[in-house]
Chain A
Amino acid sequence: MMHANLSDKAERAARGRVVLLMIGAVVVGTAAFLRTTDTSPTAEGLGWILLMAAWSVVLATGGGLALNKRMRDLLNDELSIANRNRAISWGFFAMLLASAVLLTLAGKAFDASGAIRIVTASGLAVAMARYAMLEWR
């Protein structure tokens, strides 16, 4: 019974992670197009780097860092790792696509830092959304 409880908890945690990943995809995707108005470029850039780093950690580790090892192992089992690898592959191609789109708009709509935001956010947001979709099945 204790094992079943652990398995149930892991399944609930996996569902929670799906929700977290979808929220992350929306936050990162939205933040790429928003700029704070009263911060220096340095602070703004640092904020962006921290945001990307935080969500990258969630994507790279599968989250659940506060859980015990047994739960983390169940949460990040073979299927989940395979799903994550596929999702990161989608993110890579999303970055290439975003770069190609920005190249066609070069000099028109975005400066360098804006372009970097959109390219990196595209990759991360698509990877997180895809991971969530694969884990939802």
Chain B
Amino acid sequence: MAERLGNRLRELRAERDLTQAALAEAVSVSRKTINTVENGVFVPSTTLALKLARALDCRVEDIFSLEGIE
């Protein structure tokens, strides 16, 4: 069974009323980077994942999870 990285970044960001640009600013990356992470196009580094968790005041596991593919 293959696994892929799922994420709830868009959902968590929306819950906190943050725009992509605002979150990008908080973690010092471009808005496009946030967009590609949300869409699953780009898998961020551990460093960026930790920064995102800190900016959203949650754990990394709340944002990212492994999803199985049959």
Contacts and interface: CB of A to CB of B under 8 A. Distances in A.
Interface of A: 3-4, 6-7, 10-11, 14, 73-75, 77-80, 82, 137
Q: How large is the interface on B (under 10, 10 to 19, 20 to 34, 35 or more residues)?
A: 10 to 19
Nearest to B34: A79
Which secondary structure dominates where chain A touches chain B? helix
Contacts of B11: none
Contact of A4 (B21, B42, B48): B21
B36 A137 contact: yes
B35 to A, nearest CB: 9
Contact of A79 (B21, B22, B25, B29): B29
B33 A3 contact: no
A6 B22 CA distance: 11
Contact of A11 (B25, B31, B44, B48): B31
Contacts, number: 43
Nearest to A82: B42
Contacts of A3: 21-22, 25
Most buried by B among A14, A79, A137: A79
Contact of A74 (B22, B30, B42, B44): B30
Interface string B35-47: 0100001101100
Contacts of A74: 28-30
Interface in B3-39: 21-22, 24-25, 28-33, 36
Given A78-B48, A79-B36, A11 B30 contact: yes
B31 A78 contact: no
Contacts of A78: 29, 33, 44-45, 48
B33 A77 contact: yes
Given A78-B33, A137-B36, A7 B25 contact: yes
Given A78-B48, A79-B36, A73 B28 contact: yes
